[in-house]
Amino acid sequence: MIASHYVYWTFFALMLIGLYVVISHGNLLKKLIGLSLFQVGVFLFYIGLGKQDGGSAPIISDDVETYSHPLPQVLILTAIVVGVATLAVGLALAVRIFEAYGTVEEDEVLERDSTERLAERDRERAAEHDGGGS
């Protein structure tokens, strides 16, 4: 079991490390780094599925007999591209969030939003009160 599955387990461990970073870290950029780690784990898992012992890259040549499977590689090429596209959008959003809030920590952003909302409500209350009084 260990000899035949250690590779998968390591890939799974990489996924979990990434997942942990995405969920528990509050820094938006760190979250994105974690997201890439998570995805890389999945990519490796797919490629692992296509590997064959003693196989070679699936580029046909006369003096090679066994090849690893090309399909997982094609899928992962697509997935890598999707991953980098998502990363780019996420980073652009992070830059804009920093410009709007002055921070890239999720907790601080939420805090700033809620203080803004509270301030607004207070203003409203005050306005209502004035209206009732006069």
Scan residues 34-93 and list those touching other proteins (CB under 8 A): 34-40, 42-61, 64, 66-93
As measured in angstroms, the least distance from the Cβ of 116 to other proteins is: 9
Planar angle of CA 6, 41, 47, nearest 5 degrees: 75
Quote the CA–CA distance of 3 and 8 in Å, as a whole number. Answer: 11
Residues within window 98-117 making contact with other proteins, judged by CB under 8 A: 98-110, 113
The 8-class DSSP code of residue 53 comes to: T
Contact flag: residue 118 with other proteins (CB under 8 A) = no
Quote the CA–CA distance of 118 and 125 in Å, as a whole number. Answer: 10
- Say if CB 56 and CB 68 are below 8 A apart: yes
State which residue, 20 or 119, has the beta carbon closest to other proteins: 20
State which residue, 7 or 126, has the beta carbon closest to other proteins: 7
Q: Single out the residue of 96, 111, 123, 129 in contact with other proteins (rule: CB under 8 A).
A: 96
